[in-house]
Chain A
Amino acid sequence: MTSSRDAILMKIRAALAIPLSDRVHIDSLPEINGARRSLSQVTPSAVDGFDAMTDQFARWSERLRTEFTLFPDTGRMRSAVRTLVEENNVQSATHRGIVLDEVCAGLDIEMILGNRDDVSQRDLASCDIGITECDALIANTGSVLITAQACGGRALSILPPHHVVLANASQLVPDLPSGYALLREKYGAGTLPAFISLITGPSRTADIERILVLGAHGPKRLTVLLSRE
């Protein structure tokens, strides 16, 4: 008995062996390698240089209602986390990451779940705020690229109603391909994390009469803090 795997693959090979009808027009399709090379000339424009990328990221953030702030150095970015926690009357927070350990250690709030491994999903869901680092910021889409390894797993950035992201200057890249390149560099092309998410603005829906509502199932607020350092 052949397995379904073999049966499906056999059917595909048999189907592809049938010559295409001349009624299907494929002459106008560009050659594939050339097509891949020219991708960056058709997709939404990307810019180079930190300031230009920051401007672009800020413009997208405004449209997406991401709260984005640029800081001159890491020190001031860290103290902004404290301000954020105080101003929003945060009772509980959770975070992941070595840099964040330092940042969050000084926070005077009731419960910081921190880097513990036994954090339950219910604990996460009860937090007012989830703080993570990121793997990259994508300037031409206004997105945050995270992985399970660097950003506290799969649930931390989606369960609490407010997601705060800390990034440094080297993480801001022009476009998606350069974001993926950063991941390959960091983790190895063959050993990418098993969870990679591109987050573009706070959770949203327009399923009811096409009217935009923020905070459908994920965070209602997304804050991105970027240090120039």
Chain B
Amino acid sequence: MATIHLTQFRRDARAMTADDAQRAFLRDSLAGYTRTRDAAQSDFQNWERARDLAAAMKWEAINSLDTHLELFASNLEARGTKVCWASDAAEARNYIRGVLRENDAKLIVKSKTMTSEEIDLNNAVESDGYRVVESDLGEFIVQLREETPYHFVFPAMHLKREAISRNFREKLGADDTNDPEELTMIARRALRETYLTADVGITGANFGIAETGMISITENEGNARLTMGLPRVHIALIGIEKILPRLDDLSLFLPMLATCGTGQHITCYNTLIGGPRQPGEPDGPEEFHVIILDNGRTTLLADPQARDALRCIRCGACLNVCPIFKNIGGHTYGTTYQGPIGSVITPHFRGISEFGHLAFASSLCGACSDTCPVRIDLHHHLQHIRTLAQRMNHRSRGRLAMRLFAWTMRRPRVYRLFSAIGRPLHVVTKPIHGTFVDPLRAWRHTRTFPDPAKQTFRNWWTQRVSNRAALNKGDNS
């Protein structure tokens, strides 16, 4: 049975793969990314070794996650931060609602946080009557369009400037322009007042530093700094896997995240926040809340074959090199996290039966594993999810077919029988190939099945052996 997610995936994938212009646009954009990323990588003294060290450091963090999280939380609390531990999305949303109520908030400004997309925060608080404004330019654009982010690092990468200009004209009353700089300035002006009047700022976090009790936020625009610096209350959402034990670990992870994320040597603003306004500081929020979110991550941790996927730093590099992403685009995934890493973690977070199909949308080429800065073996994880999905699907046709195949392959006579009838059957059934009556339609309506060779291997081999024997005989005489 196809779930709604699978149906949506199939529909959108079909539409996107047929849209040559959009695919070309996506390809060009990602080719540009690859060039700048390669340049940034070459600034490292030893990129491959840097990946080893990054993998080792994140792995150590994951392997004593409980200790690091406790230290992280107690260090935050020591500076007056309120820490909330949330087991799932509902708990995180309810906590935020509580903070909004207590502070009599009306306007909320947000910087880019995928964790908030994961818990579907905007819909929840908007239905309570609060106004939420996204401040990252890409997020601001997709929010105006009432869309979800296309890519978890480049939310509006699917849009051309003409479309953005149209949205700005319709929603903001701006003049038409095709100049990216002017478009950016329209957003800058529109958001200035929001920063100054918002009651609460909500951000995510790229890393949580255990030894100092700080969140680290990476950005380029300055919108996160304004979001967490100006409103009276700052709420930050952080997944449990974002922990790094030491402050100095950032000296590797900040340049690495920038390199893989956007092809920069380091991003424009990398900010550490350890608490609300402290004595002796001239400004800053009166309240700072950090929500430590599980929401399925411990399920991933408990899978002995999938645990290392928690090393992910959400740089998005695996999306940018993925042949599937390039051809089906970001929205097709129907998830917060797109691309290979999304197809690995979403089934664990939200259910194999609902999202297991994503793991099948892969050529298992391994481009993702080759590029991952923390060396997550992504294509093996995809294969692992395929296994889990198949196990749940006891009576699937695919499973039956594989059983039949295995049974046949162990019996030479049956194999010979099938290959004998297979060839003529192929020729006779040709007119129905790919049509609705074809039992193999799923495969054949997009592919031409090649005609079998004139001779089976087995026949050819027998013939070859007898020919040789004849030849040898001739030589000897």
- Residues on A lying within 8 angstroms of B by beta carbon are 3-5, 7-9, 11-16, 18-21, 23-26, 28-32, 35-36, 38-45, 60, 96, 117, 119, 121-122, 125, 141, 143, 148-149, 152-156, 158-159, 175-177, 180, 192-211, 213, 215-219
Contact = CB atoms under 8 A, between A and B. Distances in A.
B91 to A, nearest CB: 6
A196 B264 CA distance: 21
Of listed A5, A141, A156, A194, residue having the most chain B CB within 10 A: A194
A43 B44 CA distance: 5
A4 B288 CA distance: 19
A197 B225 contact: yes
Given A4-B87, A32-B60, 14 more contacts: A7-B85, A12-B298, A24-B377, A38-B49, A119-B282, A125-B192, A154-B228, A192-B214, A195-B272, A209-B161, A209-B180, A215-B185, A216-B220, A218-B223
Given A122-B196, A208-B183, A39 B251 contact: yes
A13 B302 CA distance: 9
Interface stretch (B97-105, B130-138, B326-334, B350-358): B130-138
A180 to B, nearest CB: 5
The 7 closest A-B pairs by CB, nearest first: A218-B222, A216-B221, A154-B229, A15-B302, A176-B251, A207-B138, A194-B275
A143 B292 CA distance: 30
A13 B65 CA distance: 8
Contact of B59 (A3, A29, A205): A29
Contacts of A213: 180-181, 184
B119 interface: no
Interface of B: 29, 32-33, 43-47, 49-50, 52-53, 55-57, 59-60, 63-66, 69-70, 73, 79, 84-87, 91, 135-138, 141, 154-157, 159-161, 164, 180-181, 183-185, 187-188, 191-192, 195-196, 212, 214, 220-223, 225-226, 228-230, 240, 246-252, 254-255, 262, 265-278, 280-284, 292, 294, 298, 301-302, 304-305, 307-308, 375, 377, 380, 384
B156 A208 contact: yes
A207 B294 contact: no
Contacts of A204: 220-221, 268
Given A4-B85, A213-B180, A42 B251 contact: no
A158 B226 contact: yes
Contacts of A211: 180
A40 B46 CA distance: 10
A28 B188 CA distance: 47
13 contacts: A8-B240, A9-B69, A12-B65, A15-B302, A125-B196, A153-B281, A200-B269, A203-B222, A207-B136, A207-B155, A208-B137, A208-B156, A216-B220
Contacts of A156: 282-283
Given A4-B86, A21-B304, A206 B262 contact: yes
A192 B275 CA distance: 11
A10 B475 CA distance: 80
Contact of B53 (A5, A39, A196): A39
Nearest to B301: A15
B325 to A, nearest CB: 16
B283 A20 contact: no
A160 to B, nearest CB: 11
A152 B282 contact: yes
B55 A203 contact: no
Contacts of B135: 217
A156 B138 CA distance: 25
Nearest to B251: A176
A18 B302 contact: yes
A24 B305 contact: yes
